[in-house]
Amino acid sequence: MALVAAISVIYCTVHMSKMGKFMKREITDGFNKASEQSSGRAWMVAFFFSAFMVGREGVETATMIASLAAQAETSRMAVGAVLGVILASLLAWAWVKFGRRINLQKFFQFTAVFMTIFALQLIFYAFHEFTEAGALPLVDNAYWHVATEPWSPEGEYSQWFSYSFGILPLAWLIYTYFSDRKTNAAKLAS
């Protein structure tokens, strides 16, 4: 499944790199057209677009949590869920407050890098699991399984790698906000 997920993420990344430059314009044009209509219709378009995007992410999150719940201690899952909801709420608040100031082209560029790193982690995980099962021909499966163990999902290095998936996007959003703010201030001063 990790290998299938990696292929899907790579396909999505390639697609986003080709179509990303047009997405901002399409989204903005769609919202502009909706806002020109009645305020009720504009509200409905924005609501359903947001509900779809949040719902899609929610389904992915629920699937991942259900998978992890079968393997983890429930008290840790509860603490993680509460912390996750708090952090997601803070991120949602920041996105609503500052999101319109974010350069979407830069955001999509970073997303492509982020997704590529994630796909590489999935490929590495698949390799580790295949060596554990002894399923790779022409490879010393036992050696490679032991060699990749610190980087496996339970390994010491992968935990920090996983934390970076939360920290890097937040850092990028903050950097982009201040970078664009500085650029816009310089344009106004000119």
| DSSP, residue by residue, 12-58 | HHHHHHHHHHHHHHHHHHHHHHHHHS-HHHHHHHHHHHHHHHHHHHH
In whole angstroms, give the CA distance from residue 141 to residue 147.
10
Q: What is the pLDDT of residues 110-140, one digit of tens each?
A: 777 778 878 888 888 889 889 989 999 999 9
Q: What is the pLDDT of residues 152-179, one digit of tens each?
A: 777 788 777 777 777 877 787 788 778 8
Q: What is the pLDDT of residues 6-38, one digit of tens each?
A: 888 888 888 877 776 677 677 778 767 766 776
- Each domain of the chain, given as residue ranges in start order, spans 2-185
Residue pointed to by tokens 């999935």:
122
pLDDT for position 72: 66
Q: What is the pLDDT of residues 37-76, one digit of tens each?
A: 767 777 777 778 778 877 777 777 777 777 667 666 777 7
Q: How confident is the model at residue 151 (pLDDT cuts 50, 70, 90)?
A: confident
Report whether pLDDT(149) > 80. Answer: yes
In whole angstroms, give the CA distance from residue 89 to residue 168.
17
Could you give the percent of the chain with pLDDT greater than 70? 89
In whole angstroms, give the CA distance from residue 71 to residue 30.
43
Q: What is the pLDDT of residues 77-100, one digit of tens each?
A: 778 878 888 988 898 888 788 777
* Distances from the Cα of 157 to the Cα of 121, 127, 162, 181, angstroms: 12, 16, 9, 36
Distance between the two ends of the chain, CA-based, in angstroms? 54
pLDDT for position 92: 82
* Distances from the Cα of 171 to the Cα of 89, 164, 165, 167, 176, angstroms: 17, 10, 10, 6, 8
The residue length of the chain stands at: 190
One-letter amino acid at 61 equals T
Q: How confident is the model at residue 144 (pLDDT cuts 50, 70, 90)?
A: very high
pLDDT for position 18: 78
Average model confidence (pLDDT) for the chain? Answer: 79
* Distances from the Cα of 38 to the Cα of 19, 45, 84, angstroms: 30, 11, 37
pLDDT for position 68: 67
